[in-house]
Amino acid sequence: MIDIKTIACSSLGTNMYLLTDVSTGKKALVDCPPIRGRQIDFMAENGVSELDYIFLTHGHFDHILGLGDVQSRFGGKIVIHENDADCLHDREKALCRWMPMKPLKYNADIIVHDGDVIMFGESRFEVMHTPGHTQGSVCYRCDDVLFTGDTLFFETCGRVDFPGGDAAQMKNSLHRLASLEGDLRVLPGHNEETTLSYERAHNPYIIH
């Protein structure tokens, strides 16, 4: 069982999720946007002294640019799908080619593939490869929670017009998510949370 705290970061409103495995107290992040004082205060207020993992849903800049600051303070093994691992050191693939920043020099600690399972404390994180927004986009499922990154949003889905995007793959990925049994809490990479049952009924990218 995990406890989840959410903070929206950067001008793009990227969600960063702070996870605590209730049984062991271990902590992790899902996605790691650019870190500023507000995020550091948020982590301190929630008792973070060390991270076990930083689960990345994909490799675009607004989800990875906090990695250096976070790892230097809290550690945490970087988890990313093999198809987006290059984003950690390729400015163009990470969509930050024209941004005034230092070169990307992050390294993946754990490369994942569809169906992989990572144990976070006593919580089981299942990797679902959901390409469409990027070739290495993934969703992470833990208990009744689905972290969907930029694949599935409230009543919409992620963009497919960036390099590596693919509309047909996105459609397949969304239908795969919709076919999961039961209802799940959906925590996306941007904007408000939703549920899988709501999206099955109202998301035009799933029902058409």
CATH code of residue 193: 3.60.15.10
Phi-psi region of 68 (alpha: psi -120 to 50; beta: other; left: phi over 0): alpha
> Tokens 């060390």 map to which residue?
50
Number of domains in the chain: 1
| pLDDT value at residue 104 | 80
Cα 3 from Cα 121, distance rounded (Å): 12
Which letter does DSSP use for residue 71 in this model?
A: H
* Both structure tokens of 81: 């799908």
pTM for this prediction: 0.95
Distances (CA, A) of 66 to 1, 38, 126: 26, 13, 24
Mean pLDDT by 10 residues, the chain (208 residues): 89 90 96 82 90 98 91 95 96 80 84 98 97 98 97 97 96 97 96 96 88
pLDDT at 98: 62
Give the residue numbers spanning the domain of 92: 2-207
Question: Could you give the residue ranges of the DSSP H alpha helices within 49-166?
Answer: 61-64, 67-74
Element (H, E) at 153: strand 152-153
Amino acid at 15: N
Backbone angles phi, psi at 180, to 5 degrees: -65, 140
